[in-house]
Amino acid sequence: MSEKRKFNIWIPDSTAESIPDLVDLVEQLLYYFPYIFKVDLEELKKKDNLEKELEEVNKEFNQISQIYGKLRQEYGVIHFEANELYTRNTLTGLKLGMLMKKLEKAKSIWGPKLSLDYDSAKEIIKHYSDRYLLKREEEI
Amino acid sequence: MSFSKKKKYVKYQLSYKQKQKLFKIAQQNNTNPDKIVNQIEEFLDSFSEYDKNDLWEKLLSFLHLKMLEDKTKQRSDDIIETKKKINQEKKFLIEYEDDYLTIVELNRALESLNKV
């Protein structure tokens, strides 16, 4: 990016004469740059109450922005809740894993005296730890 | 300059701040600063013949109108997108809640067994 380079805009004489503040004009044209391609002189000529139209569109924009703001807020709350629940599930899942290990140990000591269905318990734990721990990896 | 030879032009040199802005626009629009300057010059040129007292004022209002319309449309799209995201998040929340209840129940069962 050439910091020293100068940029000039050649403004038609007649335009320069009729405009009191060229700095402001250039500033505005830069600001509205993407929209200059949408200007059609014929359409512009037909617009005789631009102020009123601007007022209406502005009102509509404000209304829609308000709705958008509320929705973003709603999203923020629900996203936070879901996230919190997700973290809680992950932690509880980890705790389950540790409990399962203890039970494995207990089983080796007490064996048949424990009437737990190990296989299905293990399956359930695996399901949840996969669901939460793998998901977490995906997210990272 | 490739404009009409009959017309006269005034040279306007961009200020430092305007130059910065120009670079930024070029980046945003994936083009180069010279092209933007050319496009603005062409724009000014195409309207120079229609000099009327309030033309430029009207033109700037018109540009503002176009921008607002564009932003309004963008916002409507954002609203649809956010609604979609909210529904998805709601779905997740219900799933997580279901999971949570199952996990808690299992936890309780295991803990009571652990005490044996």
Average pLDDT, chain A: 82
- The whole-number pLDDT of residue A135 equals 62
- The whole-angstrom distance between A126's CA and the closest CA on chain B is 11
Please name which of B72, B71, B64 lies closest in space to residue A53, comparing C-alpha atoms. B64
Total CB pairs under 8 A between chain A and B: 214
- The whole-angstrom distance between B98's CA and the closest CA on chain A is 10
Q: Give the pLDDT band of residue B102 (cuts 50, 70, 90).
A: confident
Compute φ and ψ for A5, nearest 5 degrees.
-60, 140
Judge whether B3 and B49 are in contact, CB under 8 Å.
no
| A28-87 pLDDT per residue, tens | 999 999 999 888 878 887 887 888 999 999 999 999 999 999 999 999 999 999 999 888
| A80-94 pLDDT per residue, tens | 999 998 888 888 878
Q: Closest to A50 (Cβ–Cβ): which among B7, B62, B85?
A: B62
Lowest-confidence range among A21-25, A131-135, B81-85? Answer: A131-135
Cα gap A51→A19, rounded to integer Å: 20
- State the DSSP code for A130: I
Provide, rounded to the nearest whole percent, the portion of chain A with pLDDT above 90.
Answer: 32
- The whole-number pLDDT of residue B5 equals 62
Please name which of A26, A3, A33 lies closest in space to residue B10, comparing C-alpha atoms. A26
Q: What is the mean pLDDT of residues B12-16?
A: 93
Average pLDDT, chain B: 86
| pTM of the complete model beyond 0.90 | no
- The whole-number pLDDT of residue B104 equals 81
| B16-64 pLDDT per residue, tens | 999 999 999 999 989 999 999 999 999 998 887 775 667 788 888 899 9
Helix then strand count (H, E) for chain A reads: 6, 1
| A117-134 pLDDT per residue, tens | 666 676 777 777 777 766
Q: What is the three-class DSSP state of B80?
A: helix
Cα gap A36→B59, rounded to integer Å: 9
Torsion, Cα of A69, A71, A77, A81 (10° steps):
-160
Q: Give the pLDDT band of residue A16 (cuts 50, 70, 90).
A: confident
Q: Give the pLDDT band of residue B113 (cuts 50, 70, 90).
A: low
CB atoms under 10 Å from CB of B45, counted, come to 19
Q: Give the pLDDT band of residue B72 (cuts 50, 70, 90).
A: very high
ipTM metric: 0.73
Window B:71-110, CB contacts with A under 8 Å: 71-72, 75-76, 78-79, 82-83, 85-86, 89-90, 92-93, 96-97, 99-100, 102-104, 106-107, 110
- State the DSSP code for A19: -
Distance of CA B105 to the CA centre of its chain: 48
Please name which of A112, A40, A103, A49 lies closest in space to residue B112, comparing C-alpha atoms. A103
